[in-house]
Homo-oligomer: A and B are copies of this chain.
Amino acid sequence: MKKSTIGLAPGTLVYDGVGEKTKIKLISYQEKTVEEKDIIRVAEISAQAKKGDVLWIQVNGLRDVEKIAEIGKSFVIETLILEDVLNQNQRPKFQSFENGDFITLRKYSLKDTGKVVSEQISIIVTKNCVISFSDDSNNIFSDIENRFEKSHKRLIKYGSSYLMYSLLDFIIDEYFLIQEHFEDTIEVLAKAVAKSASSKTREKLYEVRTQLLLFRKSILPLLEVIDRLKKSENYSVGQKSIKIYLEDLNDHLVHIQDLSRTYTEMLEGLSSLYFSTTSDKTNEVMRALTAITIIFLPLTLIAGIYGMNFKYMPETKEVWGYPVAILFMIAVAVSITLVLKNKKWL
Residues of A near any B CB (own CB < 8 A): 1-3, 5-10, 78, 80, 90-91, 93, 143-144, 146-147, 151, 154, 169-170, 173-174, 176-177, 180, 190, 194, 196-199, 202-203, 205-206, 209-210, 213-214, 217, 221, 244-245, 248, 251, 254-255, 258, 261-262, 265-266, 269-283, 285-290, 292-294, 296-301, 303-313, 315-319, 321-322, 325-326, 329, 344-345
Cα-based distance from A214 to B321 in the complex (angstroms):
68
Chain B residue contacts of A251, Cβ below 8 A: 91, 93
Q: How many copies does the complex hold?
A: 5
Cα-based distance from A304 to B143 in the complex (angstroms):
77
Cα-based distance from A6 to B140 in the complex (angstroms):
13
CB pair A7–B278 under 8 Å, yes or no, is: no
User: Would you call the interface of chain A mostly helix, strand, loop, or mixed?
Assistant: helix
Cα-based distance from A198 to B299 in the complex (angstroms):
31
A202-B273, A300-B300, A305-B326 are known; give 9 further A-B pairs, CB within 8 A.
A7-B144, A7-B146, A199-B277, A296-B301, A297-B297, A301-B303, A304-B307, A309-B313, A309-B316
Task: State which of B1, B206, B293 has its C-beta within 8 Å of the C-beta of A292.
Answer: B293
Chain B residue contacts of A177, Cβ below 8 A: 2-3, 6
CB pair B306–A309 under 8 Å, yes or no, is: yes
Chain B residue contacts of A312, Cβ below 8 A: 318-319, 321-322
CB pair A194–B190 under 8 Å, yes or no, is: no
Contacts A269-B210, A290-B292; A304 near B300 (Cβ below 8 A): yes
Chain B residue contacts of A326, Cβ below 8 A: 305
Q: How far is the CB of A198 from chain B (nearest CB, A)?
A: 8
CB pair A170–B305 under 8 Å, yes or no, is: no
CB pair B290–A283 under 8 Å, yes or no, is: no
Cα-based distance from A5 to B276 in the complex (angstroms):
40
Task: State which of B1, B10, B173, B217 has its C-beta within 8 Å of the C-beta of A258.
Answer: B217
User: Of residues A190, A297, A329, which shows the largest number of chain B Cβ atoms within 10 Å of its Cβ?
Assistant: A297
Chain B residue contacts of A270, Cβ below 8 A: 206
CB pair B269–A202 under 8 Å, yes or no, is: no
Task: State which of B6, B78, B304, B311 has its C-beta within 8 Å of the C-beta of A173.
Answer: B6
Chain B residue contacts of A286, Cβ below 8 A: 282, 285-286, 289-290
